[in-house]
Structure 1
Amino acid sequence: MKRYIALLFIIFFSLVLKAQLGDLATVDFLIQHDKEDLYQLTFKLKLKEGAIVYGDPVEGAMISPPELIINIDSSNAFQFTGDWIKPPFKTKFIKEFEGDVSYYQGEELIMTRALKGFKKDFTVSGNYQAQVCEEGRCITTPYPNPTFSVLVGEGKKDLTMQSTTLSLERKESSGNQCGYNFSKEKKELKTFNGLSIDEGQNESYFWFFIFAFVSGLVALLTPCVFPMIPMTVSFFLKESENKSKGKFTALIFGLSIIVIYMLIGSVINLIAGPDAANYIATHWLPNLLFFSVFLFFAASFFGMFELTLPSNWGNISDRKAEKGGLAGAFFMALTLSIVSFSCTGPIVGNVLVESVATGGIKPLIGMFGFSLAFALPFTFFAFFPSLLNKLPKSGGWLNSVKVVLGFIELALALKFLSVADQTAHWNILDREVYIALWIAIFSLMTLYLIGKIKFAHDSDLKFIKVPRLIVAIVTFAFVVYLLPGMWGAPLKGLSGYLPPTSTMDFNIPQLIQGKGGVICSESNYSEKLHLPHGIQGYFDYEQGMCCAKEQNKPVFIDFTGHGCVNCRKIEDGIWSDSDILQLLKEEFVVISLYIDEHTIDLPVSQQYTSVFDGNTQIKTLGQKNADIQKSWFNKISQPYYVTFDNDQNLLNIPIAFQQASDKVKFRKFLMSSIAAYKKRNP
């Protein structure tokens, strides 16, 4: 009898569950008794006038917005007897999604689904996701999805739903979703299977030394320096009592140049500690300053003005040099460094900027490489003076070298503007815009080399010599190489020096390839942060770990940065490999942690005191990600790759750029991590 009374109660009172979706829509869940043991679950979405909700993806569409999904928890107490019955959805082309999308627009969307109950008391529970949009804005259900729970049976006079408000602000949470909360973790990951995680992690400075050394050689070809070589060597040999003493003076002169530039490197090294280096490399303000400095240098090379240090500096050192002896040789080197600054300053600046951006001992290595190349010919020709006659004579070609360097400075300036653009999310220098500017710059450089463009200080070019023609051919070939990049070609040879492919508005390979990987819910911060090559992943550590636990997959943690050149090299040159990309998309839950993300503030409830130093207040997403890397791995450089199981235990020794830049080693790293995970989770 009580059962029938309860059933009559349900028949006459359809108890409604409501959840607000901001001011755009209201969600209602209700359950009604039909007959005997049959019921009907109804979902109602009341829409604001002009608002729409997206439906199922359109067949053949490359990109789709988050669709309306209702997930029902499985139960042996009831069984659905059919699919959802819903009104027809319309389709239309939306530019932002580059294709047709399915949507519903009206006063109210009503969907019903019939079910059969096997018990007198049972619960229908689940969760839902939706995206509701109107002109100019969209609201998406927060993570985790809002839930509902409908209780049916004797004495159940209330139907309850546990849901969250959907608003324009992202939902704040405690950061302790499904048990993960970095700020409360007290762990040190120093070893793996008895091996130090620092095994093989020492960074090689060889290529940076080569870069600095080549920069020093280039500086020798400028009009401020090249004519000084025979003059200085002749002075040593003539002023000395014998050739041996002249050679010794030249040796001291060369060593003095190295000492002077090494002193500069030491000062920079003291000023730019690890935190300062990271700030300089990643914050938009210093990168915008570097961009301005490089434009200034380029204008100087083009002949707009001459860069000079205060004249009294040169006069003082010149008077000291006249005294002769070892001190005289040192001050001669100082005089050369000062008077040649108008040509060498921009080149030295390049080396210093690159070294300061990564910190450590790079300023010292950079200045040593530059000064060694710069000093070498002065000492070398003092020992072999007969070779001086074989040097090319000074002339207009030296100014051409300066102009060519000006074009290169202009192209390099864009790199720093790109970093500022990415870290501040201005979105003014997307990849295709950047490539278009490079095409324009190097096309103009080609025209200059073949004599079609002339600057104020250039000599008349009656004919083109073979070396100049070869440089022109190489430059134009570079322009041709850049052209496919306008439509999404990876341009692997320039990996790291171009903005990421995810910034492109039209990327043919990406459209063909589509997105890969299955994520549990919309990624936090995905409106600002993106993964390359269609990889689906997360940018919030706890959210990614929760999804990995839900999907029973290992985690691939990518410590990266907007201004990280080597990160782009790995993404464009290694991740793009079909085998590796498949592993990342299908076998892992990818979590990209941007160290230099300064624009996203953590919700107040998630802000905390640094785990690493116990003092710094962690308020931004970038600070939190850096704190994870420093406190758990004692590392500050990127890229840095870690694989975890669902208990936050290492699956392999983490790898940095040197190991990750080898495709074979990187794939082996992924495969062994997968094998270790499966062994722990049979």
Structure 2
Amino acid sequence: MKLLKTTFLTALLAMFTLAVAAQMQDPVHFKVSQKKVSPTELEVIFTGRIDKGWHVYSTGLPADGPISATLHTEKAEGVKAAGKLSHRGKEISQFDKMFGMNLRYFENSVTFVQKFKIVGKTYKVSGYLEYGACNDENCIPPTQVEFAFNGEGPADAPEAEETTEAEATDTTAAAAMAGADSLQTDTAAVNAQGDLWKPVIDELQNFNGGDTGSSRSWIYIFLMGLVGGFVALFTPCVWPIIPMTVSFFLKRTKDKKKGIRDAITYGISIIVIYLALGLAITAIFGASSLNALATNAVFNIFFCLLLVVFALSFFGWFELTLPSSWTNKVDNKASSTSGMLSIFLMAFTLTLVSFSCTGPIIGFLLVEVSTSGSIAGPAIGMLGFAIALALPFTLFALFPTWLKQAPKSGSWMNTIKIVLGFIELAFALKFFSVADLAYGWGLLDREVFLALWIIIFGMLGLYLIGKLKFPSDQGNTDAMPVPCIVLGMISLAFTVYLIPGLWGAPCKAVSAFAPPINTQDFNLYHNEVEPKYKDYEQGMAAAAAEGKPVVVDFTGFGCVNCRKMEAAVWTDPQVADKLNNDFILISLYVDDKQPLDKPIEVVENGRKRKLRTVGDKWSYLQRSKFGANAQPFYVILDNKGMPVAGSYSYDENIGHYTDFLNTGLKNYKK
């Protein structure tokens, strides 16, 4: 028992540590070395390894773009810089609509090299490399890699002289930086802020811990699988098999209890088969690969095409079937065996026979789950699907009289297939949108996406009210049943709801699926939000005077996803009204290059660190007070600097962001 308690407490501690560490991201790892190319030439080499999904920006980007890789030389005795910082590796160039320029960056690995000419008998050189890195959701603040080297130069060289920083530093940064010798410590500037700078990592984690996003995600995936399984039940490939299979088990033996037991075993076998499929998907791709699928453009294009194929199959253009030899072999094996194995093989036969109907539903489920970021997603989704599929076999075996009341097979099952086809076609556009945004093609801007959804759901509404027919419906002349007509009216109403979005209306119901509003070329709707303060202390003082809570927005001039949040979420009327009227909004730019009046020296993780710019100060505030270093990052504080809600990162879902603001406002008023 003691060992069990120790293990449990260790696991809890590990989970808490991981939860805190998850907000502190360190996706790039640099090693620094020096290489004497000749007696008079020196190279300082920065070799970087970049985590999957992240990228490091190249050198020499325009000033209004993301953070360029830049070398800052603080001390140079006996050496002079020879040229600018250069790079080695596969540089990727891609046009970014948000910045309106070509962005150059590196993935997986990069090497930056600065050459120096040795002009003294000995030399000393020190400084730091500054770089910016982002993924598809976050950016980290400008990060520094310090270096300090010394050595001997040519014997006939003059005595070493210290060069000025302007001679040894990139000209774009020289004017803004002060030399190391003139750096003054001013830790009092931070300590004087008192409670406003007090770390609140534990308090923030308590709020975030109550927001069990992972658990909700698993529940959502399970429910999605459950719904998929219930839908699959009512397809022509599954529903007619249920009464025949249940009758077979009840009649194969005079012992009714044994028949019921066999039917339950049959249902459990279905669950085992589909659960094994989900586990196999996770094992084959691996957790990291499944997480990477969410933003991988190639996979999203593949998923888009896959869903289009499934939709066309449901429309009746062709039928997806597995080789008949597979079904025959499994069926023959089931007939020649007995006991539990025969029941399991019968369940496997059902899986193969029903593939033409269940395959597209399973495929759609796995596509959604694979891009959800959940490691165990496929297994959880398949468990829900299998339980729903196996449930009627078990229930009808336990209560055989229910079979008489079950609806008979008919044209209604074909209607379900057609409706599913429309839904899969609509979701296919969602995955193409991810690839379109990643590559900057501009093929599926927001108005194009909405126009296609208007057509899809408009046609779905016409089909459900009986005004549109498919080849599989030609033999059916009956009027559509009332439930279909009601659903058709809902679909048509949804179509009308989407139409104003073509001119820039928020259409919050589809904000999680449609491209961000900044991709819209024709937009009559403008509701920008500007922060009232860009200084933490001034903003907090104003909030205390007005008695309002504070939204602290850790952002960056070069943060693409920060701009997306501002364009897609802050322009929503409800969000804009709350940020402008109910809160004091403070935006802190972690890449602000304005030098501090007095540089600050702090101790972080046991090491001294120099805060030279305003951006350094705000980045340190985010790390030390909130335990996070990625942008965008939002937190709601009271007037004493204490959090009143959990933190919020990149998520363009307007409903989620509104809930975040409402929770903070409600807790502040308490």
Query: Which category of TM-score, normalised to the shorter sequence, fits these structures?
Result: 0.5 to 0.7
Q: Following the alignment from structure 1 to structure 2, what is the Cα–Cα distance between the partners of residues 639 and 491?
A: 23
- Aligned residues, how many? 444
| Equivalence for 1:654 | 647
Give the counterpart of 2:465 among 443, 446, 450: 450
| Equivalence for 1:433 | 448
Contact 1:258 1:375 in 2 (8 A): yes
Paired residue secondary structure (2:358): helix
Contact 1:192 1:650 in 2 (8 A): no
| Equivalence for 1:467 | 483
| Equivalence for 2:209 | 199
Task: Indicate yes or no: 2:572 matched with 1:577.
Answer: no
Shift of 1:399: 1.7
C-alpha change, 1:463 and 1:313, in structure 2 (3 Å) is same
Contact 1:492 1:572 in 2 (8 A): no
| Equivalence for 1:315 | 328
Q: Following the alignment from structure 1 to structure 2, what is the Cα–Cα distance between the partners of residues 431 and 650?
A: 35
| Equivalence for 1:362 | 377
Paired residue secondary structure (2:513): coil
Shift of 1:169: 7.7
The residue identity in structure 2 corresponding to 1:324 is S
| Equivalence for 1:343 | 357
Contact 1:190 1:196 in 2 (8 A): no
What pairs with 1:57-68 in structure 2 (closer than 5 Å)?
none
| Equivalence for 1:51 | none
Shift of 1:215: 1.1
Shift of 1:473: 1.7
C-alpha change, 1:483 and 1:198, in structure 2 (3 Å) is closer
Q: Following the alignment from structure 1 to structure 2, what is the Cα–Cα distance between the partners of residues 387 and 282?
A: 47
| Equivalence for 1:175 | 130
C-alpha change, 1:211 and 1:141, in structure 2 (3 Å) is closer
| Equivalence for 1:536 | none
What pairs with 1:117-516 in structure 2 (closer than 5 Å)?
174-175=129-130, 181-184=142-145, 191-193=201-203, 199-203=209-213, 204=216, 205-322=218-335, 323-357=337-371, 358-458=373-473, 459-510=475-526, 513-514=527-528, 516=530
C-alpha change, 1:472 and 1:555, in structure 2 (3 Å) is closer
Contact 2:300 2:435 in 1 (8 A): yes
Shift of 1:319: 2.0
Q: Following the alignment from structure 1 to structure 2, what is the Cα–Cα distance between the partners of residues 480 and 271?
A: 43
What pairs with 1:48-59 in structure 2 (closer than 5 Å)?
none
Paired residue secondary structure (2:569): helix
The residue identity in structure 1 corresponding to 2:317 is M
Q: Following the alignment from structure 1 to structure 2, what is the Cα–Cα distance between the partners of residues 578 and 420?
A: 29
C-alpha change, 1:465 and 1:514, in structure 2 (3 Å) is same
Q: Higher mean Cα deviation, 457-466 or 577-586? A: 577-586
The residue identity in structure 2 corresponding to 1:433 is V
Contact 1:422 1:562 in 2 (8 A): no
Shift of 1:277: 2.3
Q: Following the alignment from structure 1 to structure 2, what is the Cα–Cα distance between the partners of residues 373 and 635?
A: 43
Shift of 1:567: 8.4
The residue identity in structure 2 corresponding to 1:435 is L
Paired residue secondary structure (2:407): coil
C-alpha change, 1:233 and 1:170, in structure 2 (3 Å) is closer
Contact 2:517 2:568 in 1 (8 A): no
Q: Following the alignment from structure 1 to structure 2, what is the Cα–Cα distance between the partners of residues 335 and 665?
A: 48
What pairs with 1:593-672 in structure 2 (closer than 5 Å)?
641=634, 654-655=647-648, 661=656, 663=658, 665-667=660-662, 669=664
Paired residue secondary structure (1:508): coil
| Equivalence for 1:539 | none
Contact 1:435 1:486 in 2 (8 A): yes
C-alpha change, 1:552 and 1:475, in structure 2 (3 Å) is closer
1:86-122 Cα shifts (integer Å, max 9, x gaps): xxxxxxxxxxxxxxxxxxxxxxxxxxxxxxxxxxxxx
C-alpha change, 1:386 and 1:366, in structure 2 (3 Å) is same
1:481-523 Cα shifts (integer Å, max 9, x gaps): 222222222222223122222222233332xx3453379xxxx
Q: Following the alignment from structure 1 to structure 2, what is the Cα–Cα distance between the partners of residues 214 and 568?
A: 35
Contact 1:143 1:171 in 2 (8 A): no
Contact 1:419 1:562 in 2 (8 A): no
C-alpha change, 1:273 and 1:548, in structure 2 (3 Å) is farther
C-alpha change, 1:562 and 1:380, in structure 2 (3 Å) is farther
Contact 2:291 2:375 in 1 (8 A): no
1:427-465 Cα shifts (integer Å, max 9, x gaps): 111111111111111222222233333222222223232
Q: Higher mean Cα deviation, 412-421 or 456-465? A: 456-465
1:626-669 Cα shifts (integer Å, max 9, x gaps): xx99xx96999x99745799xx9999753578999384653454
Unaligned runs of 5+ in 2: 1-61, 68-99, 106-127, 133-139, 147-198, 541-550, 592-604, 606-618
Contact 1:236 1:249 in 2 (8 A): yes
Bigger Cα Rg: 1
C-alpha change, 1:292 and 1:239, in structure 2 (3 Å) is same
C-alpha change, 1:364 and 1:635, in structure 2 (3 Å) is farther
Shift of 1:197: 7.4
Paired residue secondary structure (1:587): strand
Q: Following the alignment from structure 1 to structure 2, what is the Cα–Cα distance between the partners of residues 562 and 346?
A: 36
Q: Following the alignment from structure 2 to structure 1, what is the Cα–Cα distance between the partners of residues 627 and 260?
A: 51
C-alpha change, 1:244 and 1:287, in structure 2 (3 Å) is same
1:48-90 Cα shifts (integer Å, max 9, x gaps): xxxxxxxxxxxxxxxxxxxxxxxxxxxxxxxxxxxxxxxxxxx
Paired residue secondary structure (2:553): strand
1:236-256 Cα shifts (integer Å, max 9, x gaps): 111123211111111111111
Contact 1:290 1:413 in 2 (8 A): yes
Shift of 1:335: 0.7
Contact 2:462 2:468 in 1 (8 A): yes
The residue identity in structure 1 corresponding to 2:553 is F
TM-score by length of 2: 0.57
C-alpha change, 1:238 and 1:275, in structure 2 (3 Å) is same
Q: Following the alignment from structure 1 to structure 2, what is the Cα–Cα distance between the partners of residues 635 and 216?
A: 42
What pairs with 1:103-122 in structure 2 (closer than 5 Å)?
none
| Equivalence for 1:530 | none
C-alpha change, 1:216 and 1:649, in structure 2 (3 Å) is same
Larger RCO: 1 or 2 (CA < 8 Å, sep 6+): 2
C-alpha change, 1:141 and 1:507, in structure 2 (3 Å) is closer
Q: Following the alignment from structure 1 to structure 2, what is the Cα–Cα distance between the partners of residues 655 and 307?
A: 43
Q: Following the alignment from structure 1 to structure 2, what is the Cα–Cα distance between the partners of residues 497 and 366?
A: 21
Task: Indicate yes or no: 2:586 matched with 1:588.
Answer: yes
The residue identity in structure 2 corresponding to 1:394 is S
Identity %: 39
TM-score by length of 1: 0.56
C-alpha change, 1:549 and 1:272, in structure 2 (3 Å) is farther
What pairs with 1:519-598 in structure 2 (closer than 5 Å)?
555-557=552-554, 571=569, 576-582=574-580, 587-589=585-587
| Cα RMSD, aligned residues only | 4.7
Contact 2:539 2:585 in 1 (8 A): no
Q: Following the alignment from structure 2 to structure 1, what is the Cα–Cα distance between the partners of residues 566 and 263?
A: 44
Paired residue secondary structure (1:307): coil
Unaligned runs of 5+ in 1: 1-138, 145-166, 520-546, 594-610, 612-624, 675-682
Shift of 1:328: 1.4
